[in-house]
Structure 1
Amino acid sequence: MMPENYVISGQTLTGKTLVALALSEYAKQQGLKVGYFKPVGAPNDPDASLMKQVLNLRANLSNICPIERMKSSYDELLRIGYKQLRSRILDAYSNVSDGKDIVLIEGTEAPWHLLHVNLSTPQIAEELGAKAICLVNFQDVTAIDDVLLQKDLFLRHNVKDLTIALNMVPPMLKTIVSGSIREFIKSSDMDFLGSIYRNRELFAPSVQEILKALDGQMVVGEDKEDILVDRFMVGSMAPENALKWFRRAKNKAVITSGDRADICMAAMETDTNLLILTGGMGPNIRTLAQAREKEVPIMMTGYDTYTTGQIVDSLIGTVTTENIEKVPVVVKILRESLDFGVLGITNEK
């Protein structure tokens, strides 16, 4: 008997793996054997590695995530060709789905990625006969168009069973989301899974997680690695504009070059949880003294400012094998936020 397939779709940092974690726990509680599949991912894909460990999957990582996209050139997959790529995906899927009642399929970084080789998330869903769970970061009401865009993409590939979940919803939008937005989605022939509201435990990385990701070194505040960071801001502006800019955010980390003492001092005049100094340059004596007085941790990294920003942005709302202890918290929050009963997943044969 073929397992039931659910493809989890969304753009980068919409919480696809987080939903897979929570849904897998829900399905296991229904007495189902759960598999996980990520057809296209990064080399040694961290999401696939995490799910393999959490679900105790016996399949090799090369089958759980059979195609590694290096992003070295636009045509790296074109050179391999659709026929061979499809064959790899189907062979790997056959392996990971063996003996499973349900397989959770994590989509590409965005649902339209790999359209150029006919392997976008909607196309994979069509190939595997999967239902779709579409995630949308709902920072404001204009994101309703992102919902309709995903619907249109999936319908173009004959995937009609769509369920929507909204992520990173500001608490101030709770009334409109639970009311008119929810009703609009349902009236547009889609099911509504629920809303994940901004939550520090879920979305804010700790200083310790940032330190690991940046291969960094603590200069001040070695005892403050459990502090959470809600937002990252890059300090590259003129010093006279820095204070106004930094006052816009609380519980933030400021990323700047180690030789920008003016930016460091301005950041510490505002609600700053961490200074990240890039380029392998440490703080001067004045910055050190101010950091110790105000108890602001300082971290050094060898990465440049741009690369540092890219790395830390990828930490928002993510769980990896490096912070696997967050899994129970993630599952609890998402189980409280999303109504997986909408999917009709049962153990009835």
Structure 2
Amino acid sequence: MGHDSASTQARSSALLIGSCEPFSGKSAVVLGLARQWLQRGVPVRIGKPLADSAELSESSTGALIDDDVRFVGQILGLSDEQLVPSVHLQGADVARERLLAGNLDPGAGFAALQQQLDQSGDGITLLEGAGGLSDGLLYGLSLVQVARGLQAPVVLVHSWSGCHSAESLLAAREQLGDLLCGVVLNGLPPDQVPLVRAEVAPALERLGVPVLGVMPRSPLLRSVTVEELVRRLDAQVLCCRDRLDLLVETLSIGAMNVNSAMEFFRRRRNMAVVTGADRTDIQLAALEASTQCLILTGAGEPLPQLISRAEELEVPLLKVEHDTLTTVEVIESAFGHVRLHESVKATYAFRLVEEHCDFEPLLTRLRLPTPA
């Protein structure tokens, strides 16, 4: 891969969307950005040089298309020709093989990617980087390596949790140089967005890190389907198997007395409620609240009237072998760590990016047509 100086002016028709850490909101920004440009008549292609998970496409070429890329393509109505094949697919076996062989070169696949971009004509190719800055080094496809190899400008989507969060952005700026053309700060409590926009954004700008957007934290985008919880918990589904596409935004533990529980449940929305299999009073109270699924732990079987009430209200009832603490840990680790594969999330991502980001500076830098 070429190692041209990062300060060289970008000459690629590609724009890289990366992050310092995984699950920072890259896919949401790719979606929002792609839709804005498509609406303006700018031809858009999307891809991921290093695929996380992918099925070989059914085309005769057997192209490797990342599952996220395929989903975004479907949502945006892109043709197969607008989906750029990945160079490699990440996997434990391949990583081990590459490490033991000392092979850190992306190989011919990267040259093929470069060639595709050179022949792509008008418009822009949005390429989503691997998880964080160092992800992909074993494949020669870390964000910095791809950016330098393609001489492509980079937008970083960054989870902001206070001014110390600037340090990883400054580290990225050191590595990317002038190829870093902007950042989107994500995941802020909504009440902090105006202050960060007014104070932090100009300060970062002065340090050579232009801020293109400041987005609030979204419970919906962090949410997880009941089906994903079933998979992670290896749960038994006792009823409403056809409702596993419901989205869970919050977690509640039904361990208090029933009056306190009812008051607590009333204040939460789109919950998964975890409670002991023997706490029928809590279980029935949870079903009357904004509950997306009820998860029963411990010994004992639920009463038939609980199952019939859950069926009536169309709330999936799950039974797990784990204790309550383990169950809660598994669920909490799922929030914010799932792929954006639901159309309701995509619709929300469009709105979030439109309301909180300004990509005009990118249009200018990439010499794309700006609206009249």
TM-score by length of 1: 0.75
Instruction: Give the corresponding residue for 1:171.
Output: 190
Q: Is the counterpart of residue 134 in structure 1 residue 156 in structure 2?
A: yes
**Letter paired with 2:268:** K
The gaps in structure 1 that reach 5 residues or longer are: none
Structure 2 CA distance for aligned equivalents of residues 68 and 222 of structure 1: 32
**Cα 1:12–1:291, aligned 2, differ >3 Å: closer, same or farther?**
farther
**Cα 1:187–1:122, aligned 2, differ >3 Å: closer, same or farther?**
same
Instruction: Give the corresponding residue for 2:58.
Output: none
What SS does the aligned partner of 2:15 have? strand
Q: Is the counterpart of residue 32 in structure 1 residue 53 in structure 2?
A: no
The answer to whether the 8 A contact 2:28-2:349 is kept is yes
Q: Which deviates the most, 160-169 or 201-210?
A: 201-210
Q: Is the counterpart of residue 69 in structure 1 residue 90 in structure 2?
A: yes
The gaps in structure 2 that reach 5 residues or longer are: 1-9, 55-65
**Letter paired with 2:46:** Y
Of 134, 142, 146, the residue aligned with 1:112 is 134
What SS does the aligned partner of 2:291 have? strand
The answer to whether the 8 A contact 1:111-1:122 is kept is yes
The answer to whether the 8 A contact 1:21-1:327 is kept is yes
Instruction: Give the corresponding residue for 1:187.
Output: 206
Of 251, 275, 280, the residue aligned with 2:293 is 275
Of 138, 147, 160, the residue aligned with 2:166 is 147
The answer to whether the 8 A contact 2:239-2:311 is kept is no
The answer to whether the 8 A contact 2:24-2:157 is kept is yes
**Cα 1:8–1:160, aligned 2, differ >3 Å: closer, same or farther?**
same
What SS does the aligned partner of 2:141 have? coil
**Cα 1:159–1:57, aligned 2, differ >3 Å: closer, same or farther?**
farther
Instruction: Give the corresponding residue for 2:216.
Output: 197
Structure 1 CA distance for aligned equivalents of residues 88 and 340 of structure 2: 21
**Cα 1:148–1:302, aligned 2, differ >3 Å: closer, same or farther?**
same
Of 265, 281, 288, the residue aligned with 2:306 is 288
Instruction: Give the corresponding residue for 1:338.
Output: 357
Q: Which deviates the most, 284-293 or 330-339?
A: 284-293
What SS does the aligned partner of 2:106 have? helix
Q: Is the counterpart of residue 251 in structure 1 residue 269 in structure 2?
A: yes
Instruction: Give the corresponding residue for 1:7.
Output: 16
Instruction: Give the corresponding residue for 2:99.
Output: 78
TM-score by length of 2: 0.71
**Letter paired with 1:261:** A
The answer to whether the 8 A contact 1:191-1:342 is kept is no
Structure 2 CA distance for aligned equivalents of residues 315 and 287 of structure 1: 35
Structure with higher Rg: it is: 2
**Letter paired with 2:149:** E
The answer to whether the 8 A contact 1:255-1:309 is kept is no
Instruction: Give the corresponding residue for 2:277.
Output: 261
Q: Is the counterpart of residue 313 in structure 1 residue 335 in structure 2?
A: yes
Structure 1 residue 312, shift from structure 2 partner: 4.2
Structure 1 residue 217, shift from structure 2 partner: 7.5
Structure 2 CA distance for aligned equivalents of residues 219 and 116 of structure 1: 44
The answer to whether the 8 A contact 2:284-2:306 is kept is no
**Cα 1:306–1:232, aligned 2, differ >3 Å: closer, same or farther?**
closer
Q: Which deviates the most, 98-107 or 339-348?
A: 339-348
Q: Is the counterpart of residue 20 in structure 1 residue 30 in structure 2?
A: yes
Q: Is the counterpart of residue 89 in structure 1 residue 105 in structure 2?
A: no
Structure 2 CA distance for aligned equivalents of residues 168 and 51 of structure 1: 21
What SS does the aligned partner of 1:186 have? helix
Structure 2 CA distance for aligned equivalents of residues 83 and 172 of structure 1: 44
Counterpart mapping for 1:47-58 below 5 A: 47-53=68-74, 54=76, 56-58=78-80
Structure 1 CA distance for aligned equivalents of residues 201 and 334 of structure 2: 32
Structure 1 CA distance for aligned equivalents of residues 37 and 82 of structure 2: 22
**Letter paired with 1:38:** K
**Cα 1:299–1:200, aligned 2, differ >3 Å: closer, same or farther?**
same
Aligned residues: 336
Structure 1 residue 145, shift from structure 2 partner: 2.9
Deviations 1:231-276 (A, max 9, x none): 24688xxx579989x959822543759xx31578657656662335
The alignment's C-alpha RMSD in Å is 4.5
Structure 1 residue 172, shift from structure 2 partner: 2.0
Deviations 1:155-177 (A, max 9, x none): 22445433111112211212321
